[in-house]
Amino acid sequence: MIRIALADDHQLVLDGLKSMIDQNEGFKVVAEANNGKQLLDLVSAVQVDVVLVDIDMPVMNGLMAITEMKKQNESARIIALTMHNEKSMIERVIAAGASGYLLKNIDQADFLHAITKVADGGKCFSDDVTLTLAGGSNTRTSQSLNYQNSTLENQLSEREVEILKLIAEGFSNKEVGEKLFISHRTVDTHRTNLMKKLEVHNIAGLIRYAIQAGYID
């Protein structure tokens, strides 16, 4: 049973999400909030596997709530559920620690699949969000991205590619180290080298590259 917390300032949206989720076996909404502050209070008192949070909310918005939740619990699995599809906002939410970014036009099957994937420790993004992070879908842009990715990938070692995939899937340095039987300090060194080679400055940048290169969905 995947225990879910919901946060949205529109009660009709909350009611609709709860009704839809609870109708599916293996999913259960255990907490509902109308703002980020209320959400923080609830998730600290109830056992939750995945948190679904809107971005635009009063008192404390979704971005702030995600940041605070990750401070309180580094392993928290959080999905932003929003209408915002701006690259800067997506990157800020990922940098804050969200494991997923879904648009509210997502269909039910993909929505439930995303929750399951994040609950299992992965990351998930709406198709339109992936395109936004990749910089668009026109042919010229895609060709340019493919060429750039191919060139950069040739500069990455096999170990760096392994670590990049695991980081992009949401695993911490410690978890990556345990999977690859290396120390977390070695993972940190590889991550630093990856950022230098790929010319990115944070985890959001690594995830964006992994999406462009086809390493994660």
Higher pLDDT, 52 or 160: 52
Sheet of 124-125: strands edge to edge? 27-33, 2-7, 50-53, 78-82, 100-103, 124-125
pLDDT by residue (tens digit) across 138-164? 433 343 344 344 445 557 888 888 888
| pLDDT above 70 for 137 | no
CA–CA dist 179, 166 (Å, integer): 9
The whole-number pLDDT of residue 152 equals 52
| DSSP reduced 3-state for 3 | strand
Q: What DSSP element (H or E) covers 54?
A: none
Q: Which class does domain 2-133 fall in?
A: alpha beta
Q: What 8-state DSSP symbol labels residue 34? A: S
Cβ neighbours for 100, distance < 8 A, ≥ 6 positions apart: 78, 79, 80, 114, 117, 118, 123, 124, 125
Identical topology for domains 2-133 and 136-212:
no
**What is the DSSP pairing of strand 124-125 with strand 50-53?**
unpaired
Which of 70-74, 82-86, 171-175 bottoms out in mean pLDDT, i.e. has the lowest? 171-175
Residue ranges covered by each domain of the chain: 2-133, 136-212
What pLDDT was estimated at residue 146?
A: 42
CATH for 136-212 is 1.10.10.10
